[in-house]
Amino acid sequence: MNQPAPAADLLTEARRLHGLAEAAGITARLLGGAAVAISAPGPLPPALQRPYKDLDYVVRRADAARWRGLLDGHGYTADTQFNTLHGAQRLLHYDPAHQRQLDTFVSSFAMCHALDLEDRLPAGSATLAPADLLLTKLQIYEVNDKDLIDAIALLLSHPVGADGQPGLDTRRLAKVTGTDWGWYTTLTDNLAKVAARLPGAGLSADQATLVAGRIDQISAALASAPKSLKWRAQAKVGRRVPWYDLPEEPD
């Protein structure tokens, strides 16, 4: 019997995989640029739309083996060597029909900083929560333009919330950055880069004003949030030593 083929359109394929995972009782949530687009309540403005080449997921540790089996049975080819070596933290699969890669992070997202997501995979949603999507986009020390554009899209699409409210939950952002000066520094540095990118992002004046206001709200919430003793000790060292990792991408 032939395996079901992945959809040619990437966002359609992301929705297909979400349906398959939900039907199988597997908790897997999309992140990356495709997740930014799917999480928006409507189509993104043309200036913020871009092609998405790959799919990225986070899966609960208990579901990792079944997620691998689901992908293997629905048109994906596993990178056996990589998965054997790194499968406890990360998995690689390929869609040979469309020459695409599917990357799965197991329980946490670790690039320049580590983000524990085991208990942050919202029920019923195809994607991570907006605050976690923003954290994954802006935790990169050498942030690129695609990440800045995706961050603008998130800030335009989701209101700033607090105390667990829907949208960009400042309580979540403050919890991550209030215990780790490195996280705080990378995120606030990159929020400033998003603000600097905003005038050339092709938005209307009203849209740009809205995004700028949300950047200010988040920045103020992070600055005023309580900081741990560990955070304060790291702050004394400051930028004299690297506060981030530079991840190696799989070949």
Instruction: Provide the whole-model pTM.
Output: 0.94
State the pLDDT at residue 166: 77
pLDDT digits (tens, 9 = 90+) for 202-236: 999 999 999 999 999 999 999 999 999 999 999 99
- Angle among Cα 14, 172, 105 to the nearest 5 degrees reads 40
The residues of the chain that CATH labels 3.30.460.40 are 1-127
Show Cβ contacts of residue 146 under 8 Å, excluding neighbours closer than 6 positions: 33, 50
Contact criterion met (CB below 8 Å) for 57 and 102: yes
State the pLDDT at residue 64: 97
For residues 140 and 190, give the distance between their C-alpha atoms in angstroms, rounded to a whole number.
8
CATH fold of the domain at 1-127? Beta Polymerase; domain 2 (3.30.460)
State the pLDDT at residue 210: 98
Contact criterion met (CB below 8 Å) for 169 and 131: yes
pLDDT (mean) for 58-80 = 96
pLDDT digits (tens, 9 = 90+) for 89-142: 999 999 999 999 999 999 999 999 999 999 999 998 999 999 999 999 999 999
In degrees to the nearest 10, what's the CA dihedral of 218, 144, 196, 237? 60
State the chain's mean pLDDT as an integer.
95
